[in-house]
Amino acid sequence: MMQLDDETLNAYLDGELDPVVRADVEAALARDAEARARLEALRRVSLLGRTAVDELSRLSVDESLQERVWPLPKPEPDCPAARTGRAMTILSGALVLLLGMGLGAWLFPSSPRLAGEAAAVATAWPRQAAWFHHLAAERRTHARPLVLDVEGSEPARLQVELNRTLQQRVVVPDLSDLGLRPLGARLLVEQARPLAQIFYQDAGGNLVSLLVALDSGPDTRPRFERVDDGPATAQWRRANTRYVLVGEPERVRLQDLVPVVAERTTR
């Protein structure tokens, strides 16, 4: 009769036995109540250990370490010189676009073709939104609950908290007809500037998020960018509010979502 010592039981528990030995162990276990109880005790402490370390993994990691691992660019300074610099950059870019692609393409900057061309130039807002989005998406990948300040199951509270955070009325867009269910929102302060990121989920479990922040300036048309081969983003400004929509490019077509979101956020 097979001897069911601790090492064998642990190897069985850890899936380390080949099929023949495994079958022998199972046959021996069927006859040996004491060994079954011992196996259960080993299984139990294993589970307790895993749960305990999982709890430790829920602790937040120091932000300075996160920043060093994946540095976040500082928001662009909002000063006249910077604005002039940006204007020159935009003007140069526009000239290149006009010469290289023709007037038609320039008139429709949100076309997929131009979105691809612009992908190499990710600016601060999309990077910031993509960073928050990525952190949330990774929690989902690792079967962890999203960290949210307001749950999407309370739409009225979500709206109130968003307005309170931004000190301005910004409509939480209802995208349910597009198959997007609100999960909730993070309410954050970055560089002394309040902002919110609203998370939605489609039927396939894919995340789409919308970053909203106060950002004075003229209205802009949506600009599509891809951040470091990662999330796709679309940013625009309307009524002194910056919006950045983020989604995984393989799973979500932002070009289809942007017009709807832009229209519904300012109703």
Partner 1 sequence: MTDEDASRFPAGWLGRLRRGELARPRGRLSSGESRFRRELLALLPRMRGHALALTGAADRADDLLQDTCERVLLRWRQWNGSGSLVAWVLRIMHNLWYDRLRAEAVRATDPLPEDDPVLADPPGAEGHTELQQTLAAMVALLPEQRAALLLVSVEGLSYREAAGILGVPVGTVRSRVSRARAALVEALKPAVGRQS
> What residue ranges bind partner 1 (CB under 8 A)?
6-7, 10-11, 14, 16, 37, 40-42, 44-46, 48-62, 64-66, 68-71, 134-135, 138, 141-142, 144, 228-230
Closest approach of Cβ 62 to partner 1, in Å? 7
User: Closest CB to partner 1 among 40 and 78?
Assistant: 40
Closest approach of Cβ 133 to partner 1, in Å? 11
Tokens found for residue 255: 């070009």
Tokens found for residue 101: 């692609």
Closest approach of Cβ 33 to partner 1, in Å? 11
User: Closest CB to partner 1 among 41 and 82?
Assistant: 41
Beta bridge partners of 181: 201
Contact of 235 with 263, CB cutoff 8 Å: no
Q: What is the DSSP string of 34-57?
A: HHHHHHHHHHHHHHHHHHHHHHHH
User: Closest CB to partner 1 among 57 and 240?
Assistant: 57
User: Closest CB to partner 1 among 54 and 154?
Assistant: 54
Q: What's the CA gap between 63 and 184, in Å, rounded?
A: 22
User: Closest CB to partner 1 among 40 and 154?
Assistant: 40
Nearest to 204 by CA among 157, 251, 259: 251
Beta bridge partners of 179: none
Tokens found for residue 222: 């949506």
Q: What's the CA gap between 191 and 214, in Å, rounded?
A: 12
User: Closest CB to partner 1 among 6 and 219?
Assistant: 6
Closest approach of Cβ 130 to partner 1, in Å? 9
SS3 category, 93: helix
Q: What's the CA gap between 168 and 242, in Å, rounded?
A: 12
Closest approach of Cβ 120 to partner 1, in Å? 10
Tally of helices (H runs) and strands (E runs) in the chain: 10, 7
User: Closest CB to partner 1 among 105 and 248?
Assistant: 248
Q: What's the CA gap between 245 and 130, in Å, rounded?
A: 9
